[in-house]
Chain A
Amino acid sequence: MVLLKMKFTQQKRVRLAQGLWLLSWLAVMCGAFIFCLGVYLKTELLRRAEVMDNTEIHVVPNILMMVGLASIGTNWVASRVCQDSLDASRFPRWKVLLLAWFVVVALLCCLLIAVVVLSYALQGRLEESLKVGLRNGIRFYKDTDVPGRCFQKETIDRLQMEFRCCGNNNFKDWFEVQWVSNRYLDFTSKDVKDRIRSNIDGRYLLDSVPFSCCNPSSPRPCLQNQLTDNRAHHNYEFQSEELNLYSRGCRQALIDYYMGLMNSTGPGVLSVILIQISVLLSMRFLQTAVEGAMALENPEGDSEGYLLEKGLKETFEDVRANALNMLKFGQVDPADAEQSPEAEGAEKAADDTTEKAASPTPAS
């Protein structure tokens, strides 16, 4: 039994072709939008590459860019098919190409769904990547004269100012690393020497944070040093002080930012999927309706359009049978592979004769 059968008059076919032409151009725009979205997301990820440990999350923008470009191409083809669909002489040339077109569009829809799923599925990986990346970033903050790490300090400072965050999990992360380079430490100073000696790893640790952790909304001038010592500052209680520094960690801030980006692209991608599916179904109806009219040898007459020639179950069985046949066709017959030694010898002799005939005689 035919799936979703519809009657089409000539006028209905024209309307469908016109509507589909418009829809396919809308889908081209959507493809461009998806591509731009991918480029934007990729750029944003690359901008923060220094504070990321791996690039697994890049699969999302990569797929978006690829699907965007493919979508532009396929939907442009769809618009051309629509233009030619009402011309009996021009439509048949698309017949072979349309099967491939349906496969590509279905694949694009699957990829777009995969993107939406991956956006949420890779959140854990992104978080882990940021955790390690930021930890290393904070550790290498002081290495401004080490090649390859010269701009790590600037990157972290700008990141903390832009995202209004401090440290990896919170500002206390800065207390666990030496973030002041030895180059700027006076080793003749007793205080510096004592502090280094008191640490097992010989690191100069402070209860201080970089200036970029300071919150401009605080009513008092920023306190960066001796943060855990209430006596070091007048009218100060570090347990209850909330406005002096940013309390949120940069990992959380970046996760919120990227997930916000991906969550906002989600609905956009889903609406593009719906448009793409509409193009796919409309194209199938148009194809079957036009082919039906041509089969009746009356392009002006009524015809039937449908999605599948048989029901879902039968179509699935057919596809499976076809696939099995193709696999069988690809196999090597064992009977052909085994040859008798005599036959093999005869074949060899024939080859030699041919070779001799082909080679020129040497001049005496």
Chain B
Amino acid sequence: MPFMSVKFSLQKRVKLAQGLWMLYWVSVIMGILVFSLGIFFKIELRKRSELMDNNESHLVPNLLILVGMLACGANAFGGKVCHDSLDPIKFAKWKPMLKPYLLMCCGFNVLLLMTALLCFLMQFAVYLTLAEGLKNGIKFYKDTDTPGRCFMKRTLDMTQIEFRCCGNNNFRDWFEVQWISNRYLDMSNDEVKDRVLSNVEGKYLMDSVPFSCCNPGSPRPCIQHHLTNNSAHYDYDHRIEELNIWTRGCREALFSYYSSMMNSIGVLVIITILLEVGYMAGLKYLSTALETMADPENPECESEGWLLEKGVKETFAELLTKLKTLGKINQVEEGGDAQEGLNIPLKPSGSQSEVRTETGTILL
């Protein structure tokens, strides 16, 4: 018994074909959108590559670009099939391609599902990459005259200004690194010397942050230096001061930016999957409805459309048997069959002789 069979009149078939045609073109637009988002995501990753140690994975954006292009192609083809479906002559040429097309759509849906899952799962990798990258970024902030790190200061400053954040986890991360290059330190100054000597690793550490940590929303001019010393500033308490500098860490800020982007893309891909499944079902109904017309010469006649020719159980069983037979064909039978074409007598190593066969001469 066919699975989910529906009766179709001519009007119903026309409506189905028109609806599917429209939906296919909606899906083409969705494909373009997925493709564009893939490119956008790739650009965004490239833009902040320095903050990820140039270690970021481009698997998700590359998949999105691929999936977007495939969606455009596959759905444009589906749209053409629907457009020609009500013309028996035109539809006849598409008929042999429908089964491979539907199988390809199934494969494509699996790929889409994988992409959607990766959109959600790869966020963890992004988080770890950001953590490591930002830690190194802060460490190399001062190295403006080191080749390959010249723009690290600029990148970090711009990031802190744009994302309204400070440090990796918070502004205290700046207290743990020397972020002023020795080039700008007066080593003849006693205060500088004392500070360097008091540190085990000989680093010049301060309770200060770069200017890019300053919050323009603060009512008082920005305090960047001696942040933990209340007596260094008038009417100031560093424990309750919230507006002076950004309190959020850049890892959190960047991660929330990327994760919201990936979540949105993931949701869009899931919507695309649902649409794809809908089209596949619709196209299957349309093709079966056109195939089962009682009188193909009379387009007015009724027909029956279904999703599966037999029930789910029977179809699954049939599929298993097919797979088994395929497996049997590929097996090598024991006994004489394997050596039927070529009887090669064994010779001691070192000697060489010719063996004539039907296919030609082999040197042994």
**Chain A interface (Cβ < 8 Å from any Cβ of B):** 144-145, 150, 153-154, 157-158, 161, 179-181, 183-186, 189, 210-212, 214, 216-217, 219-222, 224, 233-235
Contact = CB atoms under 8 A, between A and B. Distances in A.
B67 to A, nearest CB: 34
Contact of A211 (B189, B214, B217): B214
B164 to A, nearest CB: 11
Which 7 A-B residue pairings sit nearest by Cβ, starting from the closest?
A216-B157, A157-B216, A219-B144, A144-B219, A234-B186, A186-B234, A214-B211
A221 B221 contact: no
Given A184-B234, A210-B221, A212-B216, A219 B145 contact: yes
Contact of A222 (B185, B210, B220): B210
B183 interface: yes
Nearest to B180: A221
Given A211-B211, A220-B184, A234-B186, A179 B234 contact: no
B158 interface: yes
Contacts of A212: 214, 216
B220 A144 contact: yes
A211 B224 contact: yes
Contacts of A180: 221
12 contacts: A150-B219, A158-B216, A181-B220, A183-B235, A184-B221, A210-B221, A211-B214, A214-B212, A216-B157, A216-B161, A221-B180, A222-B211
A211 B217 CA distance: 12
B248 interface: no
A179 B216 contact: no
B48 interface: no
Nearest to B183: A235
B181 interface: yes
Given A234-B184, A235-B183, A161 B216 contact: yes
Contacts of A220: 144, 181, 183-184
Interface in B129-186: 144-145, 150, 153-154, 157-158, 161, 179-181, 183-186
A185 B216 contact: no
B308 interface: no
Given A210-B222, A220-B181, A153 B216 contact: yes
**Residue among B144, B161, B210, B216 with most chain A CB within 10 A:** B216
Interface string B201-218: 000000000111010110
Given A210-B221, A211-B211, 5 more contacts: A145-B219, A153-B216, A211-B214, A216-B153, A219-B150
Contacts of B181: 219-220
Interface in B213-239: 214, 216-217, 219-222, 224, 234-235
Main secondary structure of the interface of A (DSSP, over half): loop
A303 B221 CA distance: 79
A144 B189 CA distance: 38
A154 B179 CA distance: 27
Interface of B: 144-145, 150, 153-154, 157-158, 161, 179-181, 183-186, 189, 210-212, 214, 216-217, 219-222, 224, 234-235
A226 to B, nearest CB: 13
Contacts of A161: 161, 216
A146 to B, nearest CB: 11
Nearest to A179: B221
Contacts of B158: 216
Contact of A219 (B153, B189, B221, B224): B153
A154 B150 CA distance: 30
Contacts of B154: 216-217
Nearest to B159: A216
Contacts of B180: 221
Contacts of B219: 144-145, 150, 153, 181
A186 to B, nearest CB: 4
Contacts of B234: 184-186, 189
Given A161-B161, A210-B221, A216-B154, A221 B216 contact: no
A211 B145 contact: no
A161 B234 CA distance: 27
Nearest to A184: B220
A101 B203 CA distance: 79
Nearest to B217: A154
Most buried by B among A153, A216, A220: A216
Contacts of A153: 216, 219
B212 A216 contact: yes
A279 B276 CA distance: 46
Nearest to B179: A221
B216 A154 contact: yes
B300 to A, nearest CB: 38
A185 B233 CA distance: 9
Contacts of B186: 234-235
Contacts of A181: 219-220
B184 to A, nearest CB: 5
Nearest to B186: A234
Nearest to A234: B186
Contacts of B210: 221-222
A158 B158 CA distance: 13
Contacts of B153: 216, 219
A169 B116 CA distance: 53
Contacts of B185: 234
A224 B221 CA distance: 11
Contacts of A217: 154
Nearest to B150: A219
Nearest to A213: B211
Contacts of A183: 220, 235
A183 B183 CA distance: 37
Nearest to B219: A144
A255 B304 CA distance: 71
Contacts of B184: 220-221, 233-235
A49 to B, nearest CB: 18
